[in-house]
Structure 1
Amino acid sequence: MSEYIKIDLFEEAAEELNFKKGNIKATVELLDSGNTVPFIARYRKEMTGSLDEEEIREVAEKIDYLRRLNERKNDVAAAADKQDKLNEEVLNKLKKADTLQEVEDLYRPFKVKKQTKAARAIARGLKPVAELIFSQQKSELEIKKEAENYLDPEKELTEIEEVLSGAEDIIAGDVSDNADLRKKLRNFVFKTALIVSEQKNEDEEGKYQDYYEFKESINKIPPHRTLALNRGENEEVLRVKIEVDDQKAIEMIYDFYDFDNRNSDSFDHLINAVDYAYKRLVFPSLEREVRNHLTEKAEVKAINNFSTNLRSLLMQPPLEGKKVLAIDPAFRTGCKLAALAEDGKLLETEAIYPHPPVNKAGEAAAVVANLVKKYYIDLIVIGNGTASRETESFVAELIKGGMDVEYTIVSEAGASVYSASKLARKEFPDLDVSIRGAISIGRRIQDPLAELVKIDPKSLGVGMYQHDISQKNLEKALNEVVVDAVNHVGVEINTASAALLTYVAGISSNNADKIIEHRSQEGKFKKRKELLDVYGFGPKTYEQAAGFIRLDSIEDPFALTPIHPESYQAAEKILANINYNVGDIRDREKLSKIREKLVEIDLAKTASELEIGLPTAKDIVAALKQPGRDPRDSMPAPIFRKDILKIEDIEPGMIFKGKVRNIVDFGAFVDIGLKQDGLLHISEMSQMYVSDPFEIVEIGQNIEVKVLDVDQKRGRISLTLKF
């Protein structure tokens, strides 16, 4: 195919993203060569200008869009050329078009039309009559006289009115196909439109009562309301539409064509044509555009919120060196217990029945006390599902009775999904589903990242309207969050599960299985380089993955750090320059001295001498200062409790320490130790105006909140930070 138009993709992207053209070009070349986003972000900073993961994906998306835009422009130019309608004007308009929508508008006149009224009228030869009406140079009588010449029974044109109606259809089609007019009307609609809803069918639960008589500017409606309207419409409870000043829009069409001879007795034909063009052809498509735009905007916000929450959830600090007793609470079927060692290894399982209808609280207490004593349990972890608060009361009473242990409540969202999964069956083939759930609950406090990667992110309970948005886009975004979190933290190769390894840059599920197989047959890895001995693990995979693999090994001390093997030589020289060697970073006393000397080195000079980039030199030095550092250590630790809180004990004005469980557009849900999380509304987050809750709080954050209101009947607590 001939290339009529060629745009400089990198130049365009640089202007729109405000990144350097060279960095964008290098980033795209790295991606096109099969490099992963985490690898590029961490180990190719000199080439990308230190773009982070999000910025690299932004570049990839923008280049992909520009490539599709350029390809579509050439498709349209080819279609016009095929019809001998490609001229400088069309070509220039295509070159200037910034969006796919603009290009599609320009394509409309060249689109092969089937079964439209205008196409049928043109096929009947009525174009000259349409042009005569459009020019407004003839009277009604003269136009009708001309129309008589087109009467033809074989073309089903037996009356003058049929000829004139066909001519009006042609004018309406031309009006609809005018790209410049569509752009003008689109701007008008997008600036002034309202989204309106009314009740269509019965709403038994009253879920949509706020939208029975609803009207709001499309430029002001918040994303969560858009998604609520969409859901109400899909459930056929609501009727939703877009409203604009139709008469003003029609006047804009008259002005566009300079239709000012309204006293003409033939002007009614133009009124009919314009009215039909706007109401039946133009506005319906613009209405769809508006609805799609609002939905896309709402989906982006919902996905961003979900992604931010998930990132915070995954980055919660691990609880190292603690043995836990996990409890998956229930009434009739009993509470399932799982005692776990510090590394998450299953020690013992049990089932107790402290609640109705069985009511064997005494026996249950003895079982729990025995497990706590037998395994020196440090912490009891209770899932927050059915019977959670009753189980909490039961545990709190045991602690009051002298059992030396603390407890915490953990979200069990997704535990049941994991426990019934193929992965769980493979991990614990001989255990009951509910016991697997208890193990998941316990492990997600010991090492949240390692456990939560086993669960579909959509099941982790940190989003809203997740079923109302594009599942493909949501899955892609959440997968990227997990990938970034896993690679940011790094993975201990000798203990990681296959599920965790799969998220390491460059490692496929097959690679992960082979690593586990190699580990079980050959023993623990002693060096990163030994990954090359794993079947199917080639140089490219090793290059991508090596820096994100962690090892506590005398033979490969740098494997404690994110220093990539390609930079080992540079790192050794940096240490040698301050009179230390690689093994010294494992010695606590020497490490303290190393840190002192590293502060004094001239990074720019060092980078130049070693012929490495300054960003790489900075990263190496930072890694040498803190080998083995877990970036999650800076995150807030879980809140441990020894006594239970009841809603009857809560009064307005009380202050509690709570943990943020979920964040949505209108606020955050905070666990203060009650059965239901309290709502911290966005309006109560600051004395100043807050437009986005994420500016103030994040998932897992420990905050002090004051009780604003208590609704015991509905079990609702309103909280505030304004005190």
Structure 2
Amino acid sequence: MSEHIKIDLFKLASSELKLKIENVKAAVDLLDEGNTVPFIARYRKEMTGSLDEEEIRNIEEKIDYLRRLNERKNEVAEAAEKQEKLNDELLFKLKKANTLQEVEDLYRPFKVKKQTKAAKAIDKGLQPLADLIFSQKKTEAEIKKIAEKHLDSEKELNSVTDVLSGAEDIIAGEISDDAELRKKLRTFVFKTAKITSEQKNEDEEGKYQDYYEFKESINKIPPHRILALNRGENENILRVKAEVSDERAIEMIYNIYKFDNRKRGSFEHLINAVDYAYKRLIFPSLEREIRNHLTEKAEKKAVHNFSTNLHSLLMQPPLEAKRVLAVDPAFRTGCKLAVLAEDGELLETGAIYPHSPVNQMEMAAETVANLVKKHNIDLIVIGNGTASRETETFIAELIKSGMDVEYTIVSEAGASVYSASKLARKEFPELDVSIRGAISIGRRIQDPLAELVKIDPKSLGVGMYQHDISQKRLEKTLNEVVVDAVNHVGVEINTASAALLTYVAGISSNNAEKIIEHRSQNGAFKKREELLDVYGFGPKTFEQAAGFIRLDSETDPFAVTPIHPESYEAAEKILNKINYKADAIRDKDIVETLREKLEQIDLIEIADQLDIGLPTARDITAALKQPGRDPRDSMPAPIFRKDILKIEDIESGMIFKGKVRNIVDFGAFVDIGLKQDGLLHISEMSQMYVNDPFEIVEIGQNIEVKVLDVDQKRGRISLTLKF
């Protein structure tokens, strides 16, 4: 295909994203060379101007779109050229087009169409008559006389009405294919349209009663309402439409073409043609665009909310040196127990039946007390599913009776998905599914990131409408969130599961399996460089992954930090400047002194001397100041309890310490120790107007809330931060 048009990709991308053109080009070059986003963001700051992961992905997405746009422009130019209709005006319009939609509008006249009414009328030789009507230069009588000449029974033109109708079809087709007209109408429609809905079929549960008679401007409707309307429509309960002033739109068409009923031309036929073009050809496609636009916007917001929540969930701090008794609660089938060592190793399993219909309360209490004493348990972790609060009551009573331990409730979302997965079967082939679920519940409090990466992010219960949005988009974005979280924290190569290793930059699932295999056959890795001994682990994979791998090693002291092996020499020279060797960072007794001396270094001078760039110099010294630091340590710890709350104990005005469980467009759900999380509505988050709940709270955050209202009958609690 010959190239008529060439977009300046970097100039356009930098302009739209408001980034420097040289940084955009550097990022694209690095991506095209096969480098991963985490690697570029962390270890190629000098080249990209310190672009972060989100900016790099935005560049990747924008460049991909512009490349497709450029390709499509040239395809349209080639199609027009084949029909000998490529001229300077069309080339100019194609070059100027900024979106794929604009290009598709320009393509309409050259598109090979199905046999439309207009195409059939043209085949019957009615184009000249249509042109005459369009020009408004003939009277109605003259038009009809000319129409009579086209009568032909073989062409199914049996009357003047047939002939004139065919001419109107041609005019309607030309109006519909006018790219400039569509652009103006699109602007009008997107400025003024409203979304309306009405009840179409019976709604047994009344889920959509708010939308039986609904109307709202497309520029004001919030994303969650769009997704609710889409769901109601998909369930065939609602009829949803876009609505604009047809009269104003049609008047625009008259004005654009200068159709005037005062002229001597046959205005009636133009009325028919315009009406058909707008109502049957143009508006339906614009309505689809509106609906697609709104859905796209809503999905983008829903995915953003989901990914923000997921990131906060994954970045919750791990518990250090805590032995855990995990409880997967249930009624009839019993509560499954898993005792976990400080590092998550499974020590013992069991089951208790404290609830109906079995009611073995005393035996259950004895079992739990024995396990707590035998294994020196620090914390009991209870899943929040069926029988959760009944189990919490049971455990709280045991603690009151003198058992020296605390408890906490954790979300068990996704535990059942994990427990039945291939990964879980491989980890614990001999265990029952429910016991695997208990292990997952316990481990996700010990090290949330390491455990939650084993579960499909969509199953973690930190979003809304996840089933109503593009699964491909959701999966891609959530995968990126997990990748960023894992690489931000780093992965201990000698203890990490294959599931966790798979998210390390550059490491494929096959690489991860080979690492585990190599580890089991050859023992623990002693330095990062030994990764090159793993089958299939080449220099490029090592380059991408090495900085995100962690291990505590005498032979590779920098491996406890995010310092990349390519910067080891620079790190050693920085330490030499303050008279220390590399292994000094492993000596806990001198770390504070080391940090003080590093604070006094002139980074600009060091960067210049070592020829490494100021961002890299900063990152190296920051890593040397806090070797082995886990960035999750700065996040709020879980709330541990010794007693239970009941909704009957709650009154308006009470203040509680709670943990944010989920955040949605209209607010946040907060666990204050009850069966049901309380709702902190967006309007109760601040004395000032809050546009986005994420500006105020994040998942895992510990906050003090005041009870605003209690609805015991429905088990609902309203909370506020305004006190």
Superposed pair shares fold, TM > 0.5: yes
Residue 473 (structure 1) aligns with:
473
Residue 50 (structure 2) aligns with:
50
Residue 581 (structure 2) aligns with:
581
Contact 1:585/1:627 (<8 A) preserved: yes
Residue 118 (structure 1) aligns with:
118
**Shift of the alpha carbon at 1:707?**
0.3
Residue 299 (structure 1) aligns with:
299
Residue 483 (structure 2) aligns with:
483
Q: Following the alignment from structure 2 to structure 1, what is the Cα–Cα distance between the partners of residues 648 and 355?
A: 21
- Letter of the 1:315 counterpart: M
Contact 1:680/1:718 (<8 A) preserved: yes
Residue 458 (structure 1) aligns with:
458
**Shift of the alpha carbon at 1:157?**
1.2
TM-score by length of 2: 0.99
- Letter of the 1:443 counterpart: R
Contact 2:260/2:267 (<8 A) preserved: no
Residue 447 (structure 2) aligns with:
447
**Shift of the alpha carbon at 1:264?**
4.1
Three-state SS of the structure 1 residue aligned to 2:553 is coil
Structure 1: runs of 5 or more not aligned: none
Contact 1:550/1:561 (<8 A) preserved: yes
Residue 234 (structure 1) aligns with:
234
Q: Following the alignment from structure 2 to structure 1, what is the Cα–Cα distance between the partners of residues 511 and 7?
A: 40
- Letter of the 2:239 counterpart: R
1:359-403 CA distances to partner (integer Å, 9 max, x unpaired)?
000000000000000000000000000000000000000000000
Residue 515 (structure 1) aligns with:
515
Q: Following the alignment from structure 2 to structure 1, what is the Cα–Cα distance between the partners of residues 596 and 426?
A: 48
Residue 91 (structure 2) aligns with:
91
Contact 2:327/2:381 (<8 A) preserved: yes
Three-state SS of the structure 1 residue aligned to 2:467 is helix
Three-state SS of the structure 1 residue aligned to 2:134 is helix
Residue 376 (structure 1) aligns with:
376
1:531-567 CA distances to partner (integer Å, 9 max, x unpaired)?
0011111101100000000001111110000000000
Three-state SS of the structure 1 residue aligned to 2:590 is helix
In the TM superposition, what are the counterparts of 1:3-402 in structure 2 within 5 Å? 3-262=3-262, 264=264, 266-402=266-402
**Shift of the alpha carbon at 1:617?**
0.5
- Letter of the 2:485 counterpart: A
Residue 525 (structure 2) aligns with:
525
Residue 619 (structure 2) aligns with:
619
**Shift of the alpha carbon at 1:11?**
0.7
Aligned length: 723
1:147-171 CA distances to partner (integer Å, 9 max, x unpaired)?
1221222211121111110000000
Residue 534 (structure 1) aligns with:
534
Pair 1:475–1:567, CA change in 2 (3 A): same
Contact 1:410/1:441 (<8 A) preserved: yes
Q: Following the alignment from structure 1 to structure 2, what is the Cα–Cα distance between the partners of residues 592 and 210?
A: 61
Residue 688 (structure 1) aligns with:
688
Greater displacement, 106-115 / 667-676: 106-115
Structure 2: runs of 5 or more not aligned: none
1:672-697 CA distances to partner (integer Å, 9 max, x unpaired)?
00000000000000000001000000
1:475-531 CA distances to partner (integer Å, 9 max, x unpaired)?
000000000000000000000000000000010111111111111110000000000
Q: Following the alignment from structure 2 to structure 1, what is the Cα–Cα distance between the partners of residues 496 and 588?
A: 26
- Letter of the 1:90 counterpart: L
Q: Following the alignment from structure 2 to structure 1, what is the Cα–Cα distance between the partners of residues 198 and 261?
A: 40
Contact 2:137/2:264 (<8 A) preserved: no
Alpha-carbon RMSD across the aligned residues, in angstroms, is 0.7
TM-score by length of 1: 0.99
Contact 1:36/1:505 (<8 A) preserved: yes
**Shift of the alpha carbon at 1:582?**
0.2
- Letter of the 1:592 counterpart: E
**Shift of the alpha carbon at 1:211?**
0.2
Residue 599 (structure 1) aligns with:
599
Q: Following the alignment from structure 2 to structure 1, what is the Cα–Cα distance between the partners of residues 22 and 45?
A: 13
Three-state SS of the structure 2 residue aligned to 1:338 is strand
Q: Following the alignment from structure 2 to structure 1, what is the Cα–Cα distance between the partners of residues 152 and 2?
A: 43
Q: Following the alignment from structure 2 to structure 1, what is the Cα–Cα distance between the partners of residues 438 and 208?
A: 37
Q: Following the alignment from structure 1 to structure 2, what is the Cα–Cα distance between the partners of residues 613 and 149?
A: 82
Q: Following the alignment from structure 1 to structure 2, what is the Cα–Cα distance between the partners of residues 581 and 609?
A: 19
Contact 1:659/1:701 (<8 A) preserved: yes
Q: Following the alignment from structure 2 to structure 1, what is the Cα–Cα distance between the partners of residues 123 and 300?
A: 45
Contact 2:418/2:424 (<8 A) preserved: yes
Contact 1:136/1:261 (<8 A) preserved: no
Q: Following the alignment from structure 1 to structure 2, what is the Cα–Cα distance between the partners of residues 69 and 522?
A: 51
Q: Following the alignment from structure 2 to structure 1, what is the Cα–Cα distance between the partners of residues 215 and 280?
A: 23
Q: Following the alignment from structure 2 to structure 1, what is the Cα–Cα distance between the partners of residues 247 and 95?
A: 33
Q: Following the alignment from structure 1 to structure 2, what is the Cα–Cα distance between the partners of residues 96 and 308?
A: 36
Three-state SS of the structure 2 residue aligned to 1:589 is coil
**Shift of the alpha carbon at 1:590?**
2.1
Q: Following the alignment from structure 1 to structure 2, what is the Cα–Cα distance between the partners of residues 542 and 455?
A: 26
Q: Following the alignment from structure 2 to structure 1, what is the Cα–Cα distance between the partners of residues 463 and 7?
A: 39
Among the aligned pairs, what percent are the same residue? Answer: 83
Residue 496 (structure 1) aligns with:
496
- Letter of the 2:157 counterpart: L
Residue 408 (structure 1) aligns with:
408
Three-state SS of the structure 1 residue aligned to 2:115 is coil
**Shift of the alpha carbon at 1:262?**
4.1
**Shift of the alpha carbon at 1:593?**
1.5
Contact 1:660/1:670 (<8 A) preserved: yes
Q: Following the alignment from structure 2 to structure 1, what is the Cα–Cα distance between the partners of residues 689 and 312?
A: 24
Q: Following the alignment from structure 1 to structure 2, what is the Cα–Cα distance between the partners of residues 224 and 186?
A: 24
Q: Following the alignment from structure 1 to structure 2, what is the Cα–Cα distance between the partners of residues 449 and 591?
A: 27
Three-state SS of the structure 2 residue aligned to 1:468 is coil
Q: Following the alignment from structure 2 to structure 1, what is the Cα–Cα distance between the partners of residues 626 and 488?
A: 15
**Shift of the alpha carbon at 1:589?**
2.6
Q: Following the alignment from structure 1 to structure 2, what is the Cα–Cα distance between the partners of residues 495 and 262?
A: 85
Q: Following the alignment from structure 2 to structure 1, what is the Cα–Cα distance between the partners of residues 264 and 196?
A: 38
Contact 2:547/2:565 (<8 A) preserved: yes
**Shift of the alpha carbon at 1:261?**
3.1
Contact 1:657/1:672 (<8 A) preserved: yes
